Structure 1
Amino acid sequence: MILRHITVDSSQPYELARFWSEVTGWALSDEDLPDDDEVLLAAPEPVPSLLFIRVPEAKSVKNRLHIDWMPDERTRDEEVERLVGIGAKLYEDHRAEGGLGWVTMQDPEGNEFCVERSTKERDL
C-alpha cells in the first residue's frame, strides 16, 4: 500500500491549507477556491499530500494522530519562532537542556503537530 494523503478535518479548509502551504512551502493548486469543501496541498513525491475537508463540528479533544516535522533549513527553535509568526500556537514545550526535545504546537484550528530538532542539530 501507498500512503497517499493525510486528511485533516477543518471548518475552513482553504484557509487552513493556506496556513500549511506557508509552513511547508508546498503550493496550493490554482483550482482550489476559498469556498471549496476539499482542498489538496500536494507534497513532493514520495511524501503524502495534505487533504483538508470541511466538517460541521469544531475540534473538541486532543488529536489521536499528529504529524512530527523536522526542519531542514532552520534549527528547531528558529522554526518554532517562524511558525508562531505565521499563526501557530505553542502548546507544550518539551525542549530540554543540551538541545534535546521537541515542541508541540497547534495550527490555527487547534490541530497538534510537533517540531523536532533538525538534521543538522542531530549531527552535532
Structure 2
Amino acid sequence: MIIRHVTIDCAEPYELARFWSKVTGWPVSDQDEPGDSEVLVEAPSPVPGLLFIRVPEGKTVKNRIHFDWVPTERSRDEEVERVVGLGAMVYEDHRAPDGRGWVTLLDPEGNEFCIERSEAERAG
C-alpha cells in the first residue's frame, strides 16, 4: 500500500493550494482552476501530493496531524522568513539559544505546520 495524497479540508482549495505550491515549489495541477472544489498540488514521485478539498465547516481546533518540513536550500530561520513572506504566520517559536528547535506556523487557513533545522544545521 502507498499514500497517494495527503488531503486537507479547507474553505478555498485553489487559493490554499497556490500558497502550498509556493512553499514547496511543487506545481498546482494544470487540470485545476479557481473555484474548483478539489485542487491538487503535484509532488515529485514517490512523495504523495497535497489534495485540498472544500468543506463547509471552518477549522475550530488544533490539527490532529501536521507537516514537519526540513529546508533543503536554506536554513530554518531563512525558511521561516520566506514562508511568512508568502502568507504564513508564526504560531509558536520553539527555537533555543543553542540553535536547536523549530517554529510552528499557520497557513492562510490556520493549519499548523513546523519548520525544523536543515540537515546542514543538524550536522554543524
How far is 1:42 from its partner? 0.9
Q: Which amino acid aligns with 2:61?
A: V
How far is 1:4 from its partner? 1.2
* Structure 2 CA distance for aligned equivalents of residues 40 and 58 of structure 1: 20
How far is 1:26 from its partner? 0.3
The RMSD of aligned alpha carbons is 0.6
Q: Which amino acid aligns with 1:121?
A: E
Alignment of 1:22-37 (within 5 A): 22-37=22-37
TM (normalized to structure 2)? 0.98
Fraction of identical pairs, as percent: 69
* Structure 1 CA distance for aligned equivalents of residues 116 and 47 of structure 2: 18
Equivalent position of 1:70 in the other structure: 70
Q: Which runs of 5+ in 2 are unaligned?
A: none
Between the two proteins, the alignment pairs up a number of residues equal to 124
* Structure 2 CA distance for aligned equivalents of residues 88 and 98 of structure 1: 25
Q: Would you say 1:54 and 2:54 are equivalent positions?
A: yes
* Structure 1 CA distance for aligned equivalents of residues 79 and 119 of structure 2: 13
Equivalent position of 1:39 in the other structure: 39
TM (normalized to structure 1)? 0.98
